[in-house]
Structure formats: structure tokens, C-alpha cells
Structure 1
């Protein structure tokens, strides 16, 4: 698990290779990742959008932007955590992701960005 804290918001990520949805013979490798976003501030925040940078080990780079996460723009109260699971496909058995969330502080509508720590997507057999 990797973790980072930005502006009092803690983001932690775990990854899981999904062999049942992968097809290595066709350069298709599927990974799931679980994200925990913990609000360590004294005010409610809303996750408005995300911006991902996705890299394959062959040098390919993709960017993904969009509203919310998995169809939601959650409000996270002080001391609470929002968790979700999503997925990413790669053309190689190794890669990495990083990015940021755009947040709004509910108290005064102030905008701020929270860093998503860089994490690696690696098929387990690569670690042997």
C-alpha cells in the first residue's frame, strides 16, 4: 500500500492483478486498485474530479480526466473515509499510475488539489 497526505487529506492505494480478466497472449493485463480517501481536516470536503497519468512499461502514457470517482462526487465529513475500487488495463505486465483529485471545501467553496501517490501495477509472476 502507498499513502500520501495533501492539505490534510490522506490517500492510500492497494493494487491487485486480475488474471481472470487478463489475456497476456494479446497484451492485455487487467489490474484493480482500491483507494481510501481519509478526511483528516476539520471541515467537510467534496471530491469533484480526478486526473490520472497511466504508464505502461513500454513507455506508453495515457491521461484520464473526469468528474468524481466511479460515478460519484462524494462528500467526506471530517474524520471519515471514502473508499472505492476501480480498474485499469495495460498492454504490459508492469506499469504505474499517479494523479490528483480536485476537491472543494464545503465551508467556503475553496478549491484545492490532493495528490494521488504513484503506485505500481505489476503482475505477481514478475516479482519472482
Structure 2
């Protein structure tokens, strides 16, 4: 199984009600859909995130599964979850990878393409 058989898409949202710009607190949610386009089930084992704010401050996050789960994604199916991140600047970028394991035991990384965290008022 190759990584291009796992497709990752992202939708972000700025959470105005939880953000406090005066305190340099900018809250975003992101909804990820992981689609298995291969011919064998694959389990998400862990994640690795690289989160960079506008000051180029990098946070790296590693952990088991996502939102407390290690889903097995059947061929032709997808798994969607929502999580969040807090930045010290109004904008930032996230990217990373999911560590996956195919049903036959092959471990591989599925890249998460870089995506921007930008509030609606900052988009031109």
C-alpha cells in the first residue's frame, strides 16, 4: 500500500467566541477527512503535527490516534473528525502526517498537506 492511496482533506474554521486577541489567543477548529482509496483496510496508528504561527514559532505534536481513536478505514471509505488548535498569532500553518498500518501489517506515513489557519476578516 502506498501513501497516495490515503487522501487527506481539511476544512478550517476560526472560533471567534473562544478567541481573545487582546491575550494573543486565536482558536481554530479543523475537520479532517481521511479517505482510503486503496484496496486494503488501513488503521490510523498515530499522528505528527507541525504547527507554525505567524512569528514562526513551531509546535510539534505527536500522539496515538486522533480524538482518542485509532480508526480502521475500509477500502473506499473515509473517516472524519474535528479537533482544534490555539495560536498566539492571528494566522498560522499546520501540516503533518498520519502513521498508518495496512491490514497486511505494512506501516507507512500518509502526509497531511499544509493548510492555513486564517480568520475570515484576514482573507482578501
Fold agreement, TM-score > 0.5 = yes
- The residue that corresponds to 1:94 in the other structure is 91
1:1-128 aligned at under 5 Å gives the runs: 6-106=3-103, 108-128=104-124
Structure 1: 4+ residue segments shifted above 3 A: none
Gaps of 5+ in 2: none
TM-score, with structure 2 as normaliser = 0.96
Bigger strand fraction: 1
CA-based RMSD: 1.1
Q: Secondary structure at the match of 1:100?
A: strand
Per-residue CA shift, 1:88-110, capped at 9, x if unaligned?
0000110000000000001x211
Q: Secondary structure at the match of 2:122?
A: helix
How far the C-alpha of 1:7 sits from its partner, in A, is: 2.9
Q: Partners of 1:19 and 1:121 in 2: how far apart?
A: 13
